[in-house]
Amino acid sequence: MTRRAVLALLAALATACGGAGAPDEAPEAAPTLHEDRLELPEYEPDGFRALLRSLEGTPVVVNVWASWCGPCRVEGPHLASLAREYEGRVQFLGVDILDNREAARDFILELDWPYPSVFDPQGEIRDSLGFLGQPVTLVVDREGEVAFEWSGAVSEEQLREEIEAVVS
C-alpha cells in the first residue's frame, strides 16, 4: 500500500470514528494553528490530522524535522526562504519529533523559520504517516490530498516545483 493510500485510509478512519460522543459530552474544539512559531504545542496523530483538515482550502507544506538532524539543517534555509516567498498563499507547518522544546526553539530561531511547528516528542505523527526517518516533506493540496512526499532533505528547486503545482 502506498503512503498516499495509507494517508487516505487514515483520514477515512478518522472521519468514520469521529461521530458524536455521548449526549453529555461537549464536542471537541477544532484545533487551531498557533501563529507563535516558538510555542510548539504538543500534538498526537489524530489532533494533527484534524489540524490539517482545518487548513483545507489552503495548500500546506508539512516538514517533519528535529534539531539534532543533519539533513534537517541542510534543508532548513530553503524552507525559510520558500515560506517567505509563498507567504499568504501556502501554509508551512513543521512537526518537531524526538526532540526537546528548548533545542527546537533554538533551531527555529537559528534558521529563522517564519512558520509554526507542532511538537511530537515520540515521533508518532511521522510514524502514522508511514515514514521512518527525518526529514520528511509533504505538500498537501487545497482539497487536503497529499500531492507530493519526500523522505530526506528536499532541494529548494524540487519543493518550489511541487508548490507551484498546487498553487497554480
For residue 29, what is the DSSP state? P
For the chain, give the mean pLDDT.
85
Banded pLDDT at 37 (limits 50, 70, 90) = confident
Q: Which residue has the higher pLDDT, 34 or 158?
A: 158
Banded pLDDT at 33 (limits 50, 70, 90) = low
In the predicted model, is pLDDT for residue 9 greater than 70? Answer: no
Q: Pick from 33, 31, 58, 35: which is nearest to 47 by CA? A: 31
Sequence-distant (6+) residues with CB within 8 A of 134 are 64, 65, 66, 69, 71, 72, 97, 126
CATH code reported for the domain at 3-17+39-167: 3.40.30.10
Banded pLDDT at 6 (limits 50, 70, 90) = very low
pLDDT of residue 32: 60
C-alpha cell at 123: 515521533
d(CA 80, CA 85): 9
pLDDT digit string (tens) for 127-162?
999 999 999 999 999 999 999 999 999 999 999 999
What residues does each domain of the chain span? 3-17+39-167
pLDDT digit string (tens) for 69-125?
999 999 999 999 999 999 999 999 999 999 999 999 999 999 999 999 999 999 999
- Global pTM reads 0.81
